[in-house]
């Protein structure tokens, strides 16, 4: 019993350190690179959230898919459960918490919100159609999902930039280290070695080396966080499917949450919401579909009990999408504190319903 307690305590310490690492990278180097590309390519807040920020914050899902499927040999259907749980977490918690922490209400861009929500809804509909029409997801279905998102990103980047007139770079509070332990101070100094766009090694021969390092850092640290979280959940007896829908989902969405909070505090809710929806579309079409495509080609498809149990969570995704749009439309596309509480409550309901079903 004492050995189990020590094991659980060690897992808790590692999980806590990973949360600190992910938060520091997401709110630091990653957001600096996001703002750099946003200004360089004259992106609107929604487009920046859907593309550059979505790519970085989806690094955990991509790394989980690659490592879990091709290195650890896990069932890819379980990876889809993680993606779906992450999607619910993002359109509820990742949007709701920043709204609650924002200092004031913000006006949303209805056009950008409806565009990104429609594209995300389309990916959910495609996934639902493919899951419910057979016992397995075959390679051409995964290819359609991947091409769907790639085509949308090409369209976004090829259209006339909407531009931003404000400098939305999040402000960082360096005073937070006042009571940090020696370990965290040393850890922060190490993380500060990640090159920013202004550093000498940030961009080498036109290659954004610092951005690539940032993506790897987020992906690896998030994978460790998720792996330790799963071990801790299994230690206390949580089922694998429920772990995927909750623990893995929340863990893999940490970069979105940490990077969106400072955006919301500055009133840039558009980019935070664009990131949540954009990351969801990317996770379904790229992190899951594209990453699983070689596996499906060589094995004939993706199947398993986890796949069959995904119908209800997918319906939750589609229903929650309409609810999110509704609560914003009720306030004429302005944010209010009550919306944050409603979104958090929706995630609690999602967890409760799936806990009863598994």
pLDDT of residue 142: 92
Domain extent for 224: 2-161+174-357
User: 162-185 pLDDT, tens per residue?
Assistant: 544 444 444 444 444 444 566 677
212 lies in a domain?
yes
Task: Measure the CA–CA gap between 287 and 63, rounded to whole angstroms.
Answer: 8
pLDDT of residue 358: 59
169 lies in a domain?
no
* DSSP string for 281-343: HHIIIIIIIIHHHHHHHHHS-B-SHHHHTTHHHHHHHHHHHHHHHHHHHTTTSB--HHHHHHH
* DSSP string for 264-287: HHTT-HHHHHHHHHHHHHHIIIII
pTM of the model: 0.76
52 lies in a domain?
yes
CATH of the domain at 39: 1.20.1420.30
168 lies in a domain?
no
102 lies in a domain?
yes
92 lies in a domain?
yes
Choose the most confident range, by mean pLDDT, from 49-63, 120-134, 221-235, 318-332. 318-332
Number of domains in the chain: 1
Q: Per mean pLDDT, which range of 65-74, 196-205, 338-347 is the poorest? A: 65-74
DSSP state letter for 202 = T
126 lies in a domain?
yes
Residue predicted with more confidence, 133 or 2:
133
Computed over every residue of the chain, the mean pLDDT equals 80
User: 96-114 pLDDT, tens per residue?
Assistant: 998 998 888 888 889 989 9
């Amino acid at each position: 019993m004492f050995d189990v307690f020590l094991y659980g305590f060690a897992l808790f310490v590692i999980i806590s350190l990973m949360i600190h690492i992910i938060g520091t990278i997401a709110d630091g180097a990653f957001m600096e690179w996001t703002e750099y590309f946003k200004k360089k390519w004259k992106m609107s807040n929604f487009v920046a959230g859907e593309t550059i920020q979505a790519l970085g914050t989806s690094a955990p899902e991509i790394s989980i898919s690659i490592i879990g499927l091709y290195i650890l040999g896990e069932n890819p259907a379980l990876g889809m459960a993680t993606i779906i749980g992450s999607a619910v977490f993002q359109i509820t918690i990742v949007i709701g918490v920043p709204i609650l922490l924002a200092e004031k209400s913000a006006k949303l861009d209805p056009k950008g919100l409806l565009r990104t929500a429609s594209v995300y809804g389309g990916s959910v509909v495609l996934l639902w159609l493919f899951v419910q029409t057979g016992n397995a997801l075959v390679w051409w279905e995964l290819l359609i999902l991947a091409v769907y998102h790639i085509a949308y990103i090409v369209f976004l980047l090829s259209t006339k930039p909407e531009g931003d007139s404000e400098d939305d770079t999040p402000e960082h509070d360096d005073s937070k280290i006042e009571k940090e332990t020696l370990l965290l101070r040393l850890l922060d100094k190490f993380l500060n070695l990640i090159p920013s766009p202004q550093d000498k090694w940030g961009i080498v021969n036109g290659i954004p080396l610092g951005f690539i390092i940032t993506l790897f850092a987020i992906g690896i640290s998030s994978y460790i966080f998720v792996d330790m979280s799963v071990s801790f959940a299994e230690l206390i007896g949580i089922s694998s499917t429920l772990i995927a829908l909750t623990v893995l989902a929340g863990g893999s969405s940490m970069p979105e949450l940490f990077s969106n909070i400072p955006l919301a505090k500055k009133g840039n809710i558009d980019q935070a919401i664009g990131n949540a929806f954009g990351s969801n579309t990317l996770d379904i079409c790229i992190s899951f579909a594209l990453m699983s495509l070689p596996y499906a080609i060589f094995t004939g498809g993706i199947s398993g009990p986890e796949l069959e149990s995904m119908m209800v969570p997918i319906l939750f995704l589609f229903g929650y999408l309409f609810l999110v749009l509704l609560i914003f439309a009720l306030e004429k596309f302005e944010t209010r504190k009550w919306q944050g509480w409603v979104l958090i409550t929706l995630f609690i309901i999602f967890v409760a319903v799936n806990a009863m079903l598994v």
